[in-house]
């Protein structure tokens, strides 16, 4: 009699333990990825501090007394971006998937409008002013990722998209946007989208002959466009000359990259200290934009650069982990694409500021000053966080 009671009690305790364990696991697994979120917060915080340090001299000189002008704008952008990230992270990615095609079409139309009513700065027409000034290219990066994820995950399209003629399903629509970007000209964005697209095609399991044919075809088309003079690429030759011989025109074409190298080399192992850099005092042009890593290296040294790259490595690791454990193909490819976008931009920015590749306009995610780019970047982080919440793996 006592034995049966003990058995009943044991079963009841066991079932209660199972319920508690399942509740704990549910709470644990239904949370956003902790390490991804931590890396985003740390990168954004450190990036905002570096924008302040790198921009203080320029802001003081342009405003006639205030060193906080650029910082105020960046803080507003960061707050708007964080709000966008939180809101998007609460929206089911399946709901976002339903609007993939309309979003892609709208961003392509915006790129076309740039050629009609766009704003020109520094010999490039990349901005639209519709109430606010923004770069449609930043929207287009995310739109391409969502569009490709949609194509490669849609049952009817996925079977066709991996074959030779099937590449027209996405090559033609994306190609129109790439041509519009090249006309601006915005070659850095073309390169980023091209690399991310190739990576997503690989992840989407495009057949090898189709993959090779597409690469050869795109390369051939680029050569034809370059040789025909349809788009003015004359400045590219100057940048290659500067890349091959950075000292050939130190007061002209080579000036910016030489100042960047001076900043990096003077930082040494531990740097001169936060706020103590010299190159930002009107030597390095716009040091809080594409070349902010040079100021970071000067002030925080090699150790500081390693710390930042380590945070990016943490982000990239968790991003690919989310992609691997995502609940379906669309979410997996979307997470993969967003992570690849950050990876490519970081690698290219580091390469540019160290003169390992020709100078081109590549911003450093979370660090470079910008309105559209930062807000859209953080909104993309919201998509990644939402996917992580619905992925079943250890988040901590």
Give the mean model confidence (pLDDT) for residues 126-131: 86
Check residue 133 and give its pLDDT. 85
Question: In the beta sheet, which residues pair with residue 121?
Answer: 124
Most confident of 9-18, 162-171, 227-236, 365-374: 365-374
Nearest partner of 76 among 50, 48, 42, judged by Cα = 48
% pLDDT > 70, the chain: 86
Nearest partner of 278 among 257, 299, 261, judged by Cα = 299
- Residue 1 pLDDT more than 50? no
- For residue 291, the 8-state DSSP code is T
- Tell me which of 27-36, 240-249, 338-347 is least confident: 240-249
Give the mean model confidence (pLDDT) for residues 198-227: 81
SS3 25: helix
Sign of CA dihedral 150, 322, 91, 48: negative
Q: How far is CA 156 from CA 91, 150, 153, 331, in A?
A: 26, 11, 9, 17
pLDDT in tens, 285-333: 889 999 999 999 999 999 999 999 999 999 999 999 999 999 999 999 9
Residue with more model confidence, 195 or 29: 195
- Domain ranges within the chain, ordered by starting residue: 34-389
Q: Which residues lie closer than 8 Å to 48 by C-beta, 6 or more apart? A: 71, 74, 75, 78
Cα–Cα distance, 67 to 48 (Å, whole number): 14
* Cα 259–chain centre separation: 26
**Overall pTM surpassing 0.95 (yes/no):** no
Check residue 2 and give its pLDDT. 45
pLDDT in tens, 373-390: 899 999 999 999 999 999
- For residue 98, the 8-state DSSP code is H
Check residue 136 and give its pLDDT. 92
């Amino acid at each position: 009699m006592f034995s049966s009671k003990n058995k009943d009690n044991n079963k009841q305790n066991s079932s209660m333990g199972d319920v508690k364990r399942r509740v704990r696991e549910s709470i644990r697994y239904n949370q956003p990825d902790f390490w991804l979120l931590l890396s985003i917060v740390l990168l954004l915080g450190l990036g905002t501090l570096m924008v302040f340090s790198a921009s203080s001299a320029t802001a003081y000189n342009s405003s006639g007394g205030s060193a906080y002008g650029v910082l105020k704008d960046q803080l507003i952008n960061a707050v708007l971006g964080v709000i966008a990230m939180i809101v998007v992270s609460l929206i089911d990615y399946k709901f976002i998937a339903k609007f993939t095609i309309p979003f892609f079409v709208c961003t392509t139309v915006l790129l076309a409008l740039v050629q009609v009513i766009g704003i020109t700065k520094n010999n490039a027409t990349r901005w639209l002013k519709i109430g606010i000034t923004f770069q449609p290219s930043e929207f287009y990066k995310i739109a391409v990722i969502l569009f490709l994820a949609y194509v490669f995950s849609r049952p009817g399209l996925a079977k066709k998209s991996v074959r030779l003629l099937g590449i027209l399903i996405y090559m033609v629509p994306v190609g129109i946007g790439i041509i519009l970007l090249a006309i601006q000209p915005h070659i850095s964005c073309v390169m980023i989208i091209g690399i991310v697209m190739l990576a997503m095609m690989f992840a989407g399991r495009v057949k090898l002959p189709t993959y090779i044919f597409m690469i050869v075809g795109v390369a051939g088309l680029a050569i034809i466009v370059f040789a025909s003079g349809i788009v003015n690429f004359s400045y590219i030759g100057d940048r290659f000359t500067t890349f091959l011989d950075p000292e050939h025109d130190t007061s002209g074409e080579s000036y910016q990259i030489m100042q960047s190298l001076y900043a990096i080399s003077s930082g040494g192992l531990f740097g001169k200290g936060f706020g103590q850099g010299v190159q930002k005092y009107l030597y390095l042009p716009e040091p809080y934009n594409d070349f902010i890593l040079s100021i970071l290296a000067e002030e925080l040294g090699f150790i500081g650069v390693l710390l930042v790259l380590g945070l990016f490595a943490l982000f990239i690791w968790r991003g690919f982990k989310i992609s691997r454990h995502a609940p379906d193909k669309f979410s997996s490819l979307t997470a993969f694409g967003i992570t690849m976008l950050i990876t490519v931009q970081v690698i290219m920015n580091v390469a540019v500021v160290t003169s390992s590749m020709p100078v081109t306009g590549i911003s450093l995610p979370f660090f470079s000053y910008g309105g559209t780019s930062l807000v859209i970047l953080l909104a993309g982080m919201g998509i990644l966080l939402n996917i992580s919440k619905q992925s079943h793996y250890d988040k901590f």
